[in-house]
Amino acid sequence: MLVLLAFIIAFHITSAALLFIATIDNAWWVGDEFFADVWRICTNNTNCTVINDSFQEYSTLQAVQATMILSTILCCIAFFIFVLQLFRLKQGERFVLTSIIQLMACLCVMIAASIYTDRREDIHEKNMQFYYMTEGGSYGYSYILAWVAFACTFVSGMMYLILRKRK
């Protein structure tokens, strides 16, 4: 039982770390001479432009930013509630509250990655003065980590739903 508990905690911490990296790091769209994410666009590793309300489709990027931040916060709250429930739940009860919050984090990261997947091309085309070098790019590791975090938070949420407290 102790090994299972250690695995669940490690898996949850890994999910939270993936969410933090995917949210913060600047590699959602990358190429040879540039990298871009939902916060800024950098060319030649020195010339960075912060994405602000002067961008067309800025509200779309704000939605991605907000849902990624919310997913990270929800994942951390779920971990805190799991630790509390370890000491407060009676034997045989399920970690339903932790599961619901973790699945909400899963939903938020899925929404963020889906919005970025769908709207990326439009954002780049409408802001060509900033994204002029990005035509030859591809999805970066932060974007991929967001989808991996989606899978991890989903599995984690389902584990909490199935898990019962034992002695």
Give the model's pLDDT for residue 51: 85
In the chain, pLDDT over 70 holds for what percent of residues? 97
Kindly list the strands in the beta sheet with 47-50, ordered across the sheet, starting from the edge strand earlier in the chain. 47-50, 40-43, 34-36, 29-30, 138-139
Give the model's pLDDT for residue 16: 95
Token pair for 121:
């091309």
Helix ranges (DSSP H) in 25-167: 58-88, 96-126, 141-162
Give the model's pLDDT for residue 167: 61
Q: Which of 160, 147, 157 is nearest to 104 (CA)?
A: 157
Token pair for 93:
């009860």
In the chain, domain spans: 1-25+56-130+138-166
Which residues of the chain are under the pLDDT cut of 50? Answer: none
pTM of the model: 0.89
Q: CA 99 to CA 160: how far, in whole Å?
A: 5
Give the model's pLDDT for residue 166: 67
Q: CA 25 to CA 18: how far, in whole Å?
A: 10
Give the model's pLDDT for residue 45: 73
Q: What is the CATH number of domain 1-25+56-130+138-166?
A: 1.20.140.150
Give the model's pLDDT for residue 88: 83
